[in-house]
Structure 1
């Protein structure tokens, strides 16, 4: 199929401890509260034209509300909705005007494992700015990684239905393939899928301006006593830097920079053995990849599958 998805827009989280989560993502993670209402906040990245890149919604239970992607035109949105319907994918809503900040035209559907996915076009561009040298604030949402108990089937689903292409795979001699990096544009990955006992969010990653800004942001979180899971280091797959932290509810969030851009016509996926220390961290500065690191990123089982968020 032709690829109708152009890029990642935002990730939406339901959170029980709403005020504490909001304080973390604004005061420490340095997202900007673009608009908010009672129990819901839309948080933007300073360098991004997207209206918001994280939505927080107060709820009694923690869950991943949805992942949103962009399409170029309303016609593409309609075409994708029609393709998905014809292929038996469950639509949560049909294409229509969106009521979220920036408006636009879009629809929602369930992926193979019941996550809610939104695709939209014609969302108004947010007044954004160039992030300056030394500013350790997110430029944009880089990518989202999800956990799956049937990752091979889920990778095939995103390829078949949404046109995502495989960039690289992480594997090991003992456990087999463990993570698949998928792209919807020349960026090495906008989505990745990790093997896990249950459906959940693995992590959401935010691009900083450069190495210095990435290290300053990492240091700010360390000084504030935020629990670090892994990093700082530089992965081989994607060639990007990484520092993983836990938000107050145990969701893993990452600061990164310099994620690789590919020549899609020439690229051939690699199979990387992550038991090689150079694969996990080219610099050798991060704590070793361990069961602790893996388990932290399993997150809590998401009990919101096949249940569309109320907003």
Structure 2
């Protein structure tokens, strides 16, 4: 039984906090909704989530945590019980949370040592429908994580958190390199990418539509933000993509029109990403190569099996 409903937020620790905060609350188009001595909470205009990114000032860059939603406190308790019985490392027991919007949740380590949070009953934030030409993120779309053994990590998320496989990317010489995982009808809220170490691959933000996605891409280019790949349209998920680097070298994506699946009828595909139309149906993006791939390996994550202090 699937107990997780959706992706809530991704939390980053950053040495150059002011520069990161200026980037996300500035040209990237999020809104700072709370700030507490070296911690910034940033919301997306069209999202009911209290925040979609949290930045924390720290000596070392790391992924602090990935947060998912559940439908009820009972589901949170059931998930905690399931993980406890399986011997997974619980960081905290389910209880009241003191982050913006409150709620009831707990934290635990996944197979690769990332901190994952699951919560329910978080207050809904006042949000709105974006207007035409508003090129700021509507919501958080998905997060992609690097793992040395993507099959083991995929199996862990399927077994313990109820994620389902949507599609896989493979290469004739490299084998399978990415699993797209879903927790609702959206093609993926999570993907597991093959990398040399556990780290953040990228965070993706949904824009209102194609025009807004292109306006946003153009705004970032004009601002001198480095685009590493795009603009284009993937085959798996059928979504558009423009990948940029934030000031600390984390890859962040603007996307739109991510595919919604009929889960009862869907069967996972294995796509050969050595075929150009698999990585980019439009043919407008710079070709995928090893240098682009390495950008998203990111640095070795210093937060593996170390819970964030807040």
Q: Alpha-carbon deviation of 1:290?
A: 0.4
Q: Alpha-carbon deviation of 1:150?
A: 1.1
Aligned twin of 2:233: 234
CA distance in 2: counterparts of 1:176 and 1:113, whole angstroms: 21
CA distance in 2: counterparts of 1:167 and 1:29, whole angstroms: 29
Aligned twin of 1:113: 112
Aligned twin of 1:65: 64
SS of structure 2 residue aligned to 1:52: coil
CA distance in 2: counterparts of 1:30 and 1:72, whole angstroms: 29
RMSD of aligned Cα (Å)? 0.4
1:41 aligned onto 2:73: no
Q: CA-to-partner distance for each residue in 1:208-252, whole Å, 9 max, x for gaps?
A: 000000000000000011111100000000000000000000000
CA distance in 2: counterparts of 1:244 and 1:26, whole angstroms: 18
Q: Alpha-carbon deviation of 1:303?
A: 1.3
Q: CA-to-partner distance for each residue in 1:89-131, whole Å, 9 max, x for gaps?
A: 0100000000000000000000001000000000000000111
1:203 aligned onto 2:202: yes
Aligned twin of 1:303: 302
Q: Where do 1:278-293 residues align within 5 Å?
A: 278-293=277-292
Aligned twin of 2:147: 148
Aligned twin of 1:181: 180
Aligned twin of 1:269: 268
SS of structure 2 residue aligned to 1:91: coil
CA distance in 2: counterparts of 1:96 and 1:161, whole angstroms: 20
Gap runs ≥5 in structure 1: none
SS of structure 2 residue aligned to 1:28: coil
Q: Alpha-carbon deviation of 1:78?
A: 0.4
Aligned twin of 2:250: 251
SS of structure 1 residue aligned to 2:180: strand
CA distance in 2: counterparts of 1:281 and 1:113, whole angstroms: 30
Aligned twin of 1:223: 222
Q: Alpha-carbon deviation of 1:38?
A: 1.2
Q: Alpha-carbon deviation of 1:266?
A: 0.2
Q: CA-to-partner distance for each residue in 1:41-94, whole Å, 9 max, x for gaps?
A: 000000000000000000000000000000000000000001100010010000
Q: Alpha-carbon deviation of 1:292?
A: 1.1
TM-score by length of 2: 1.00
CA distance in 1: counterparts of 2:129 and 2:302, whole angstroms: 39
Query: May I ask how many residue pairs the two structures share in their alignment?
Result: 310
Gap runs ≥5 in structure 2: none
